[in-house]
Structure 1
Amino acid sequence: MASGFLRWKNHVDKLLRFNHMTMTLSAEPFNLSNSGAQAMNHQHHKRHSERMNQRFAVESRHATVTIQYAFDSTSNFPQPFLASTPRFHSSFEPSLRHLPCILLLHGNEPGGFDVARWMAGGISHAHQLMNPLMPSKFGSYSVYNVQEFGGTFNQFEGGLEDEPMYTRVKTEKVGETEPKRSRARYVEPAPPLSLLSLSRPGYLETSSSHTPTFASQATAIARLVENLRVPSVHIIAHQVAGPIALEIAALSGFRQRVRSVSLIDPHLSPPGKARRLSDRLGLLGPEWTRTRAAYSALARSSDDPYFRQMVSEICGSESIAEIDDDMAMAQLYEGISVFFSHWNLRKPGVLSDLLMWEQFDRKLWGMVKAPVQCINSTTDADGKFQAEDLAREEATKAALASIRSKPEFVRLAGSGKILFPLGRVSDLCLDFIRRH
């Protein structure tokens, strides 16, 4: 048993070591680009800069932060989501910058680059299921005649609710008859998406922020996007990353680059004293106990009853249906044991997330113009929102009342205590992104 545990631990070390790059960035407040400066009112920018500078201690203005990240496309995404062989080099394919980019921000339980990669894996797989004619399969982004490839399906545009995702087709009504498959015609598959997944400050190989605030983390992440020369992003944020996503969407000189924001069970209000105490107590204890517990519960195959029980508790009851329906999705779930390793490298991030609430405010959220989607979940498999769920939903609506765009709210049944059904949430996020 011990030798099996050590082999698993060495395997986990390889997974986290070979799937990322790092970039060292300035932690100074984000500055306007030339194009942004020309487009904004000078006086308004001056007042905004003064407010931003007040959030940074004087000694932190010359500090740096090193961010662990991966930049890849949906057409070249590994299955499972972390590969045990080296994948990344000192540079990446420049064409990724020209694809629609999704920025994935993880929460704090669990948190880190591996969780963001798992989210990216779900998005990648859902995107490929929605686009049966992936450009990578035929080597071009041109228009195809599906009859030439022996296909009878058209570009995904909704489909039938009772059909599996991979068999959905565009349908049409003829009089009062039932919907039927439309004839094959020329279609243009959606291009791949680029996926930017990272560890927030304090998690795994990303250094801690000199000043633990939502604004400083937003600044560091926005600077990473700028240094990668990504023109615009769609943000998907989980839990405590929700306020950071909104801070990014409100940043002067960067907000015009944010196309949409999807929030998954966001924490948009400071937690109560009991919750803060619980989180602090959760930082106690040696790493090996958590790692060994993760190995015992989750380092198993997807058909193991105990594994399925644990995944159902962590990710929700719907995750079991996703495992049974799709082998690729089962591989993604089989990798979640990695999330509960390297606890000592996650503690600084959890502590930083606790400290950020001490300087929390929503003053800049009124500058958010990007469309916002909020996915609120319940652990009830029947979809019944209990009093606690409804109270949390109302608090989220109140927190988002000041943003300029009208947020969309979605209820998700059968979610887990820590994470969420990956396939279902990926579908919701992709649908929202396609509409914006």
Structure 2
Amino acid sequence: MTHPDPAHQPRAFLEHLYQAAVQRALPLHNTAASLPPPPKGKTVVIGAGKAGGSMAQAVEALWPADAPLEGLVVTRYHHIPPRPAGLPQRIEIVEAAHPVPDAAGLAAAQRILQMTQGLSKDDLVLCLISGGGSALLTLPADGLSLEDKQGINKALLNSGANIGEMNCVRKHLSRIKGGRLAAACAPATVVTLTISDVPGDDPSVIASGPTVPDVTSCADALAILKRYNIDIPAALTEQLESGALETPKPGDKAFDGHAVHLIATPQQSLEAAAAAARAAGISAYILSDEMEGESREVGKVHAALARAVALRGQPFSKPCVILSGGETTVTVRPRQPGDAKGRGGRAGEFCLGLALALQGQPGVYALAADTDGIDGMEDNAGAFVAPDTLKRAAAQGMKVDRFLDRNDAYGYFEPLGDLVVTGPTHTNVNDFRALLIL
């Protein structure tokens, strides 16, 4: 496989590594080994997530043509991949909003739950789950309106809560998450195929685990809401306090005979990127696929490591590539009077923190991007940092710390031409970060 020259095309080389990571996570490459045989009865496919469209198409391509197949999957707006020529559509794919749910997601969740009614023990439910499914598969608990759910979701996204904390709350304020979808499928067999976008690859965290048992409790959800000062309607607080909104737990008979298969993970994608680097003659080191914390602070830590390599050849010898994944967080700061609203996501904020800490360190280049192709709510996947980033920005009157103060990574990197724009990738194994030290 050809590759850009790292020394002369550092940005193209880092984008090449990102594409290697994305390719490894595409559903068509990973689904066949996890598909069960067709059942005696019918097969119903349901699911949600940013990879939902490509996962559905993979099942359609791999399922026997003479075996019945039907269903409904919901994905993010503009995330349905082009349909391969000659592939008949047997699974309906609809679109809804992410990361804040909308009426389309509510309607899809209602339809999916309805599809689980009246199934027999001879039937099979294939559940396709990927990151983003929490927002896309929204069915608020009784007494909670869609508007309430939207407000809670926005507050969680801006709070600095990690993905596990956010999903604990989401599970307990839902009629479909936290194992409730699997319980609704009884007595049919449920096989869940999932693409992990969470640190630790815990299926109960991915998309808030609609088909797997939940070990968190109503008390946990209440504690998280209190920790981040997030208000919910009094009636819901009472239901959480009484345990009325408790989720199905491990050992519940609702999960008997069910199977869960992880078909793509962040670690696999990081290993694919590392292999691509080594194929170009560059040593590659994976720090972790489970990194969490404030994006800007994680950026500073990566910068310290890169500087140690660049200046002292420790702990790695240059040239090399340092890779990491996981799911960092962005705590949105209050805006100062007159400030425009900041734009950007986790990857962009990581790059701001990294650039600030690197201070133009010669020989260090970096790319951070979300593997779904969308950083936060913008149209870019992430951003690129070079030794001259701060200098070029200063020439345009931009100070990196000022943009960090207002969470405006997009506004910083766009004028520099350093946004990484890929469009939706039709998969999602979360944050991808690569540092090239020459």
User: TM-score, normalised to structure 2's length?
Assistant: 0.26
Q: Structure with the greater relative contact order (CA < 8 A, sep ≥ 6): 1 or 2?
A: 1
Structure ranking higher in helix proportion: 1
